[in-house]
Amino acid sequence: MATGQKLMRAIRVFEFGGPDVLKFQSDVAVPITKDHQVLIKVHACGVNPVDTYIRSGTYSRKPPLPYTPGSDVAGVIEAVGENVSAFKKGDRVFTAGTISGGYAEFAVAADDTVYTLPEKLDFKQGAALGVPYFTAYRALLHSARGKAGESVLVHGASGGVGLAACQIARAYGLKVLGTAGTEEGKNIVLRNGAHEVFNHREVNYIDKIKKSVGEKGIDIIIEMLANVNLSNDLNLLSYGGRVIIVGSRGPIEINPRDTMAKETSIIGVALYSSTKEEFRQFAAALQAGMEVGWLKPVIGSQYPLEKAAQAHENIIHSSGATGKMILLVS
């Protein structure tokens, strides 16, 4: 990928480990586009929890070292490779799948994973679209097969995926319940599609949810922290209800009997198991949401590129996420 001439600032990882393995460098070669690829001048890059799992070496996908982390970027097309007709230099775009890594001034992506960024969204919002919105859409409408009139609990609703799930669920006609850990988080969740919100730091919040939904229970739970919540989730479900696991940070003991009487399901979701056709479908639905106006990413903490290690520390250890964490690149 190196040209020996054009250089850029980027984060490089030479060994798997803690946040301190993220090395800021200002002499990294700008990647070169191949067939059906575009070069994006990155304005902002989303930070996702999965970035930290990959960096630590504990994730199922391990990139060859050294590598630049990050998948979700928004910016402007700088150059296009051979056989690219959908984009030209200067187009505003976003992607959920860089090839060369997003924590950098320039990133290469396959042209079929790049989408036009509407004028009404800025680059920060563009960087918040990729993994959160595509994951939320896959979880809610593909994996859970959510339908208008059903109820959904977004368990951990104030982060990037959670707020995306609330906006999508509300737009598609579901009854939306959310949880957050702070007053600020609760307010943001209510402003972004939830009909009702609960504080998951309160000891009796599960009882409050049960009281709110009554005997029937909840049709769908989008679960961000399954290693803490899965056992409770199973007791909240309706007949035929399903828990969709978006995030988990360890093991948990559950009683399988809790799934039997109501014939409930536990379904895992991994965005990158999506086919190209599914990505196109998700993108079409999300583009419509941007045009109509219900899709509005909420930006949380922002860091300059050189503070990527601090961002990785905070996305895992700071409590009470509100909105999407991003790196500002240019």
Of the pLDDT bands very low, low, confident and very high (cuts 50, 70, 90), residue 4 is low
| Residues 192-249 pLDDT 10s | 999 999 999 999 999 999 999 999 999 999 999 999 999 999 999 999 999 999 999 8
pTM to 2 decimal places: 0.93
My answer on whether 101 and 196 are in the same domain is no
Question: Looking at the domain assignment, is residue 24 inside a domain?
Answer: yes
Of the pLDDT bands very low, low, confident and very high (cuts 50, 70, 90), residue 3 is very low
Of the pLDDT bands very low, low, confident and very high (cuts 50, 70, 90), residue 61 is confident
Which of 232, 166, 183 shows the shortest CA–CA distance to 203?
232
Cis bond before residue 66 (omega within 30° of 0): yes
Pairing of strands 175-180, 196-199: parallel
DSSP string, 143-180: IS---TT-EEEEES-SBHHHHHHHHHHHHTT-EEEEEE
My answer on whether 188 and 306 are in the same domain is no
Domains of the chain: total: 2
Alpha carbons 27 and 21: distance in angstroms, whole number: 17
* Domain of residue 214, CATH code: 3.40.50.720
Q: In which domain, by residue range, is 136 found?
A: 132-272
- Both tokens of 275, joined, read 């086919």
- Both tokens of 171, joined, read 């737009």
